[in-house]
């Protein structure tokens, strides 16, 4: 199955997830790592998850005990990580070609 359209925000999200492929991140962490405005990543995550590139799960905690709601964690699937690397390498508008975005510069 071909990958998603590699928009700049999609590339930023993938790059953030690939920095620590085995680590799980929740939404706000992904926003911060990608340098994207909070509240803008959920459509991208839904698309990547729908394609099987991402896996997500609820944090396994007792909210009452922890005093906070459980987080939704995301990470690249093994296959998704490989596909993401390939897609980033072949992106028509690579991040390295855009000043200010290559090192996590925010947009939005």
Partner 1 sequence: MKRSAVGQTLDYVRVHYLARGRYRVRRYASVLVEHHADNLQRARTIADELAYMHALVAARGVADNLADARADAMGLLRALARVGAVASDLDRSLSGDYTNAADCVRLTAELVSGAGTLAHQLANHLEGDLALSHVGGLARVLATSLFDTRRHVSKVGDLVQVLSAPNHDVGGIAGRVTGVAVRVLPARHRERYRDEYGSELHELAAAGTPRWRQIAYALRLLDRSWVLRAELRTPAVSKARS
Which residue's CB is nearer to partner 1, number 2 or number 22? 2
**Is residue 55 at the binding interface for partner 1, with CB under 8 A as the rule?**
no
When binding is defined by CB under 8 A, the residue of 19, 46, 78, 79 that contacts partner 1 is 46
Cβ contact 59:82 at 8 Å = no
13-32 residues in contact with partner 1 (CB under 8 A) are: 26-28
Query: Which residues contribute to the site for partner 1 (CB under 8 A)?
Result: 1-5, 26-28, 37-40, 42-43, 46-47, 50-52, 58, 68-72, 108
């Amino acid at each position: 199955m071909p990958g998603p359209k590699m928009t700049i925000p999609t590339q930023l999200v993938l790059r953030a997830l690939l920095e620590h492929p085995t680590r799980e991140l929740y939404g706000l962490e992904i926003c911060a790592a990608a340098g994207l405005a909070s509240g803008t990543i959920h459509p991208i995550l839904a698309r990547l998850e729908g394609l099987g590139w991402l896996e997500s799960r609820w944090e396994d905690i007792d909210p009452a005990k922890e005093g906070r709601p459980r987080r939704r964690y995301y990470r690249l699937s093994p296959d998704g990580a490989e596909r993401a690397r390939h897609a980033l390498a072949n992106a028509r508008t690579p991040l390295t070609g855009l000043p200010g975005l290559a090192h996590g510069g925010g947009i939005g």
